[in-house]
Structure 1
Amino acid sequence: MPSDSPAAPPNGGREDAVDGGSDTGFGVAVARMRDALERSRSDKLLALFDHLAARARDAAAPSEAQIAAEVFADGRSAAHRPDANVRVYVHRLRRLIEAEFAHEPGPRLHLPVGTYRLMLVDAATPAQHQGAITAQPPVVPPGPGPTRPWVIALVAVLAVVALVLGSALVVRWQRGAGDRLEGTAPWSALVGASRPIIVVMGDYYFFAETPASGMLARLVWDRAVPTREDLIIFQMLNPQTASAVTDRDQHYVTSATMTAAATIRAALLRDPAFAQRPIRLIAASQLTPDVLKVSDVVYVGQLSGIGALLRDPLTQASGFRLDAGLDSLVDAQGGKPYHSDGLELRDQRIARRDYGYLACLPGPAGNTVLVIAALRDPGLREMADLATDTGRLRGLRRGRIGCGGGFEALFQVRTLGNANLGASLVVDRPTRSQGIWDNAAPAPEYHPIAATAAQVH
Structure 2
Amino acid sequence: MAQGSTSNADLAAYRAEVARLQAGGVVGKGGRLAELFDYLAQRGPLAPSATQGEIAAAVFGQTETDADDATVRVYVHRLRKKLDDHYRDHPPAPGATVLEIPAGIYALQVLPGNEPAAPPPPPAAAAPVAAPRGVLAVAAAAVLLAFALGWWFSGREHSTPNALWEPLTRSERPVLLVLGDYYLFGEIDPVIPENGRLIRDFRVNSAEDLLRLQNSEPDRYGMAEDVGLNYLPFQTSYALQQIAPLLATEGKQVDVIPASEMTAQMLSTHDVVYVGLLSGMGLLEDITFAGSSLSVGDTYDEIRDRRSDQRWISDEATRIAAPVFYRDYAYLARFHAPGGALVTVVASERVTGLRGIGPIVAGRHLPGELDEAAQGDGVEALIRFTGQQGADLSEAVELVRPRN
**TM-score, normalising length from structure 1?**
0.50
| Map of 2:184 onto structure 1 | 206
For residues 43-93 of structure 1, give each alpha carbon's deviation from its aligned partner in whole angstroms, at most 9, with x where no partner exists.
xxxxxxxxxxxxxxxxxxxxxxxxxxxxxxxxxxxxxxxxxxxxxxxxxxx
| Map of 1:256 onto structure 2 | 235
Provide closer, same or farther for how the CA distance between residues 400 and 411 of structure 1 changes in structure 2, counting only shifts above 3 A. Answer: closer
| Map of 1:355 onto structure 2 | 329
| Map of 1:11 onto structure 2 | none
| Map of 1:226 onto structure 2 | 205
Give the whole-Å Cα distance in 2 for the aligned partners of 1:377 and 1:297: 21
- Is the counterpart of residue 428 in structure 1 residue 390 in structure 2? no
CA contact (8 A) 2:163 2:366 kept: no
Give the whole-Å Cα distance in 1 for the aligned partners of 2:320 and 2:239: 27
CA contact (8 A) 1:321 1:331 kept: yes
Q: Kindly name which structure, 1 or 2, has the bigger radius of gyration based on alpha carbons.
A: 1
| Map of 1:292 onto structure 2 | 267
Give the whole-Å Cα distance in 1 for the aligned partners of 2:217 and 2:203: 14
- Is the counterpart of residue 266 in structure 1 residue 245 in structure 2? yes
Aligned partner (choices 407, 413, 425) of residue 379 of structure 2: 407
Give the whole-Å Cα distance in 2 for the aligned partners of 1:292 and 1:347: 40
| Map of 2:46 onto structure 1 | none
Amino acid at match of 2:274: Y
- Is the counterpart of residue 417 in structure 1 residue 396 in structure 2? no
CA contact (8 A) 1:298 1:369 kept: yes
| Map of 1:217 onto structure 2 | 196
Give the whole-Å Cα distance in 2 for the aligned partners of 1:326 and 1:205: 16
Aligned partner (choices 141, 157, 172) of residue 194 of structure 1: 172
Amino acid at match of 2:332: L
| Map of 2:140 onto structure 1 | none
Provide closer, same or farther for how the CA distance between residues 315 and 191 of structure 1 changes in structure 2, counting only shifts above 3 A. Answer: same
Amino acid at match of 1:316: A
Aligned partner (choices 287, 297, 315) of residue 341 of structure 1: 315
Amino acid at match of 1:331: D
Provide closer, same or farther for how the CA distance between residues 258 and 425 of structure 1 changes in structure 2, counting only shifts above 3 A. Answer: same
Amino acid at match of 2:402: P
| Map of 1:281 onto structure 2 | 256
- Is the counterpart of residue 323 in structure 1 residue 260 in structure 2? no
Amino acid at match of 1:356: A
- Give 1:226 shift: 2.0
| Map of 2:362 onto structure 1 | 388
| Structure 2 segments unaligned to the other structure (5+ residues) | 1-156
Provide closer, same or farther for how the CA distance between residues 204 and 269 of structure 1 changes in structure 2, counting only shifts above 3 A. Answer: same
- Give 1:406 shift: 2.7
Give the whole-Å Cα distance in 2 for the aligned partners of 1:254 and 1:399: 30
Amino acid at match of 2:203: A
- Give 1:228 shift: 2.1
Aligned partner (choices 234, 237, 240) of residue 216 of structure 2: 237
| Map of 2:279 onto structure 1 | 304
CA contact (8 A) 1:344 1:351 kept: no
Give the whole-Å Cα distance in 2 for the aligned partners of 1:313 and 1:181: 31
Provide closer, same or farther for how the CA distance between residues 396 and 327 of structure 1 changes in structure 2, counting only shifts above 3 A. Answer: same
CA contact (8 A) 1:182 1:191 kept: no
Amino acid at match of 1:386: I
- Give 1:334 shift: 1.8
Identity %: 30
**TM-score, normalising length from structure 2?**
0.56
For residues 187-239 of structure 1, give each alpha carbon's deviation from its aligned partner in whole angstroms, at most 9, with x where no partner exists.
12213222211221111111112479535321100112222222122112124
Give the whole-Å Cα distance in 2 for the aligned partners of 1:346 and 1:311: 26
Give the whole-Å Cα distance in 2 for the aligned partners of 1:212 and 1:408: 50
| Structure 1 segments unaligned to the other structure (5+ residues) | 1-178, 434-457
Amino acid at match of 1:425: V
Amino acid at match of 2:184: F
Give the whole-Å Cα distance in 1 for the aligned partners of 2:180 and 2:393: 23
Provide closer, same or farther for how the CA distance between residues 346 and 200 of structure 1 changes in structure 2, counting only shifts above 3 A. Answer: closer
Provide closer, same or farther for how the CA distance between residues 344 and 217 of structure 1 changes in structure 2, counting only shifts above 3 A. Answer: same
| Map of 1:379 onto structure 2 | 353
CA contact (8 A) 1:302 1:380 kept: yes
| Map of 1:151 onto structure 2 | none
| Map of 1:368 onto structure 2 | 342
SS of 1:255's equivalent? Answer: coil
- Give 1:261 shift: 1.9
- Give 1:303 shift: 0.5
Provide closer, same or farther for how the CA distance between residues 277 and 351 of structure 1 changes in structure 2, counting only shifts above 3 A. Answer: same
SS of 1:333's equivalent? Answer: coil
For residues 356-395 of structure 1, give each alpha carbon's deviation from its aligned partner in whole angstroms, at most 9, with x where no partner exists.
1100110333320000011111101111111101223454
Give the whole-Å Cα distance in 1 for the aligned partners of 2:160 and 2:268: 22
How many residue pairs end up in the alignment?
Answer: 248
Give the whole-Å Cα distance in 1 for the aligned partners of 2:365 and 2:377: 22
> Counterparts of 1:1-20 in structure 2 under 5 Å?
none
Provide closer, same or farther for how the CA distance between residues 424 and 202 of structure 1 changes in structure 2, counting only shifts above 3 A. Answer: same
Give the whole-Å Cα distance in 1 for the aligned partners of 2:353 and 2:320: 19
- Give 1:341 shift: 2.0
Provide closer, same or farther for how the CA distance between residues 386 and 181 of structure 1 changes in structure 2, counting only shifts above 3 A. Answer: farther
Aligned-residue RMSD, C-alpha: 2.6
SS of 2:308's equivalent? Answer: coil
- Give 1:345 shift: 4.0
Give the whole-Å Cα distance in 1 for the aligned partners of 2:171 and 2:182: 31
State which drifts further: 229-238 or 211-220: 211-220
Give the whole-Å Cα distance in 2 for the aligned partners of 1:347 and 1:268: 35
CA contact (8 A) 1:341 1:351 kept: no
SS of 1:186's equivalent? Answer: coil
| Map of 2:103 onto structure 1 | none
Give the whole-Å Cα distance in 2 for the aligned partners of 1:279 and 1:207: 30
